[in-house]
């Protein structure tokens, strides 16, 4: 049930957020997240945007890499798991996401 609530919250954020000016997602981010077991993690993330596609590298203890697509304010990333990671682009430029089939959460905060 938790994964459904997390996805519902992401969907609500997507539906209620104001339109974004065209902005690039390319850059460095601070990652704050919760694993499926509830434990917290932090790290850094590098995103490279190329049109409607993104390449993402996470450094959160270990390094992970993924690639995905952008559809409006929703980013879907395949990263070697059975389930993709989903991010919603917020008006502030943060990315709020869920992974682990909705059992884990992640927030990416742009480094400025």
Q: Which CATH superfamily is domain 2-18+25-110 in?
A: Quinohemoprotein amine dehydrogenase alpha subunit, domain 2 (2.40.128.120)
Check pLDDT > 80 for residue 111: yes
Q: What pLDDT is stored for residue 17 in this prediction? A: 45
Segment 34-82, tens digit of pLDDT: 999 999 999 999 999 998 999 999 999 899 999 999 999 999 999 999 9
Q: How far is CA 26 from CA 5, 15, 52, 97, 100, in A?
A: 29, 24, 12, 17, 24
**3-class DSSP state for residue 55?**
strand
Check pLDDT > 60 for residue 15: no
Q: What pLDDT is stored for residue 112 in this prediction? A: 82
Query: Which of the 8 DSSP states describes residue 103?
Result: T
Q: What pLDDT is stored for residue 10 in this prediction? A: 53
Tokens read off for 85: 């990671």
What does pLDDT average to over the chain? Answer: 87
CA distance 35 to 81: 14
Query: Residue 57 pairs with which residues in a beta bridge?
Result: 46, 65
């Amino acid at each position: 049930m938790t994964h459904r609530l997390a996805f519902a919250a992401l969907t609500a954020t997507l539906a209620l957020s104001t339109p974004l000016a065209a902005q690039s997602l390319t850059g460095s981010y601070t990652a704050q997240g919760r694993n499926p077991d509830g434990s917290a993690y932090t790290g850094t993330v590098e995103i490279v945007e190329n049109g409607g596609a993104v390449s993402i590298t996470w450094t959160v203890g270990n390094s992970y890499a993924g690639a995905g697509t952008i559809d409006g304010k929703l980013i879907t990333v395949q990263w070697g798991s059975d389930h993709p990671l989903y991010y919603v682009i917020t008006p502030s430029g943060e990315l709020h996401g869920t992974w682990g089939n909705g059992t884990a959460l992640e927030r990416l905060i742009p480094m400025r």
